[in-house]
Chain A
Amino acid sequence: MKREQRESRVHERYLRHHKKFPNVWCAGCGIGIVLGAIIRAVDQLQLDKNDVALLSGIGCTGRMPVYVDFNTMHTTHGRALAFATGLKLVRPEMKVIVVMGDGDALAIGGNHFIHAARRNIGLTAIVVNNATYGMTGGQYSPTTPTGVRSPTAPYGNIEQPFPITDLSIAAGAAFVARSTVYHVQELEKFIAQAIMKEGFAVVEAVSYCHTTLGRLNQWGTAPEMMRRLKEQSITITQAERLSEEERQGKIVRGIFVNRDIPEYTRLYRRIVEQAQRLAAGGADGQAI
C-alpha cells in the first residue's frame, strides 16, 4: 500500500467525524503536522483508541485534542500536565499524551512541567514550540529568541529563551527528544518512542508562526519558515562536531536522553501493596 493511501486511512480512523471541520489553525501552520505525527505514531504502535488520552492546555496547540477520536480533554492554560497526572494515577494502563504550546508548557505551566518531570510520571509531553503566543497575536513567549520583536516586545525581546530539552533533562525526565515539523517521519518516530517510554517523556516539536511573530519580524511565508527549519537544523552527531559558536542559531535534533528511572505510578502501586500489607497485619491501629 502506498504511504498516501495508508495515511488517508489513518485520518479516517483517528479523526472525529462528528466534529465540524475545518480546524482552527491558519493555512500553513505546523500544529496539524504534529497532530498527524501523533495519530500515525499511535497507529504504528497499534494502540486501542480507548486506551489513549490526549490532553491539552490553552492556545493554538490546545485545540488539537478535539479533532482526534481518543479520550480527549481541553483543560486550562498551563495545567494540562496536572490534569493528566490525576488521570494517569487512576488509569495507569492508559497512554496519556499531553500536547502543549511553548507558553502553555513553560510560562504559565512551567511549574507543572518541571514537577511532572521530577516525579517521572508516565506521561508523554509534546511541546509544539513556535516561540510565540500565536492565538493572542504573537506576543513573546519563554522560548522567543532574544532580540526578536513582538507586540509586547516592540523594542526587541530582552529575555533569554528556555532550552526546553536541557530543562527537561535537569528536571528529571526519562526521555527527551527534539525534532521539527519539517522532519515529519523523525518526529513521528520520536513520539512513538515517547509514548512507549515508561516515565516522563518530552518531545519538543519545533514549529513556527508565520501569521504573527513571523510576519512581524519579516521571516517570510510558511514554506520559507519551513525551509529554514530544514536548513538550520542539525543532528546531535553533527552538533557534537561544531564549536559552541558554530552551534549558535542551530536547531539540534535527536534523542538527548533515554534513561531508566522508576516510574511514578509503578512506585505508587508498590506503596498501595505495602500499605495494604501493613493494614492487614494490624500494624495500623486505625480501623474502618
Chain B
Amino acid sequence: MNAHTRPRLMQGDEACAEGAIAAGCRFFAGYPITPATEIAELLAKRLPQVGGVFIQMEDEIASLAAVIGAAVGGAKAMTATSGPGLSLMQEHIGYAAMAEIPCVIVDVQRLGPSTGRPTSPAQGDVMAARWGSHGDYPIIVISPSSVREVFDLTVRAFNFSEQYRTPVVLLMDEVIGHMRERVTLPSPESIERVERAVTTVPPEWYKPYENFPADVPPLLPFGEGYRYHVTGLHHDERGYPTEQVNEIQPWLDRIFRKIERNLSDILLYEEDGVEDADTLVIAYGITARVARHAVEVSRGRGRKVGFLKLQTLWPFPEEVVEHAAARLHRIVVPELNMGQLAREVERVAGRNKVHRVNRADGEIFQPSEILAVIEEWTI
C-alpha cells in the first residue's frame, strides 16, 4: 500500500482538488467563496508542485474566462465556486458550450437565493446549472454524494469535458464539500483519463468545428501550428462567423447529438431494489445519503422500497426513470430546494405519481422526514 492508496481522512473539497490533479487538471482560476474556497486553497499549493498553474482572479466572470483561455492553450482547466459565483459564470458557460471548449465548473452549493446562507447546504442550483446561460445548449451536470465519489466524479467531469468538448458542472453541496470521511483513493495507474484528441490532418485542412469524427472534432491547442478562430458567434466549420441558416441549425443539432448519442457513457446512477419495489425514492448529493437510510429503515419494516441514486443530473436520465416508474405508482423525490429535479421526474413519470419532499432552510433532511413520506404513501 503506497501513499496514494492509504486510507485517510479527507474532506470533500480536498477530494475534488486531488481528483482534479489525478485527472490531469493543470490550470485553476477562481475567486474565494464559501463553501468552495478550500478547493482553491489546496490547488494553489498542489498545482505548482505538478507543474500546473493556479491563479486567483478578480471575480468569477474572469475565473471562467481564464479557464477557457487556458483550455484553448491546451490545458485541462477548472474553476470552483458556489451559487453567487455560478450566477456570474453563466455567460461563459454558454461561451464554452458555443465554442466547444472543455472545462470543469465545480459548484459547491450553498443556500440561496442571493447571498443566502453561505455556510449552509442546499441543492438549489440544479436548474441554474442546466439552464443558466441564455440560448440553447447541452451541458453535463454530475453530483457526488460522498467524499470518494467527489474524487471519482471530478475525474469523470474532466473525462466528459475532454471526450465531448463541453463544459461540465460538478454539483456538490456544502455538506459534501466540508464533510470529512475515511477514503481510500484509487491508485494513479488505475485511473482512466481521457486526453484531448489529436489530428493527423495538416494545419491547412484542419476544421475545428466539422462534423467529424463522430460529432466531436478534435480541439487543437493554440501555439502548435494549427491556427484557427474561436468565437461566441455562430460559426462555420472553420470557426468563422456565419449567418447561414444551413450552417447554424446543423451545428446546433450536432452539439446536442454529441451528448444524446452517448448517454450510455454519460448517465451515471445506482439502482437498488427497484425491480420488485412498489415505491421508489430518487435522490442525489447529500440527500441521497439521508434517503438511503430512510429506505433501509422502511425495508426493515417489510416494505418494498426501491432506491435510485442519480449522479448524472443533466442530461436527465429520462429512460432510466421512465423504466423504473412504469411499474410503480409512487415516486418520492427529496431535495434541498423547493422542487427542481422533481419537475423532471414529474415530466417523465407523470405528476400524479410523484411526491416531492422539499426543504430549503439551510438544514439537511433528517431520515425521519423522508421516511414519513415513504410510509405515508406505502400501503
Contacts and interface: CB of A to CB of B under 8 A. Distances in A.
Interface in B20-72: 21-22, 26-27, 29, 45-46, 48-49, 51, 53, 55, 57-59, 61-63, 65-72
B9 to A, nearest CB: 13
Contacts of A75: 65, 68, 95, 232
Interface string A1-43: 0000000000000001011100000000000000000000000
A76 B57 contact: no
A90 interface: yes
Given A71-B228, A90-B53, A288-B188, A85 B62 contact: yes
A74 interface: yes
Contacts, number: 156
A278 B46 CA distance: 11
B53 A79 contact: no
B75 interface: yes
Among B18, B61, B92, B221: residue with most chain A CB under 10 A:
B61
A50 B230 CA distance: 15
A166 interface: no
A164 to B, nearest CB: 19
Interface residues of B, number: 53
B48 A94 contact: no
Nearest to A264: B55
A271 B48 contact: yes
Contacts of B67: 86
Nearest to A85: B66
A93 B221 CA distance: 14
A87 B68 CA distance: 8
A276 interface: yes
A283 to B, nearest CB: 10
A53 B240 CA distance: 16
Nearest to B57: A82
B225 interface: yes
Contacts of A50: 223-225, 227
A288 to B, nearest CB: 6
Nearest to A284: B49
Contact of A83 (B46, B65, B229, B240): B65
Interface of A: 16, 18-20, 49-51, 53, 55, 65-66, 69-76, 79, 82-91, 93-94, 111-112, 115, 268, 271-272, 274-276, 278-279, 284, 286-288
15 contacts: A65-B229, A66-B231, A73-B72, A76-B95, A82-B58, A82-B66, A82-B69, A85-B65, A91-B73, A91-B74, A91-B222, A94-B73, A272-B48, A275-B45, A287-B4
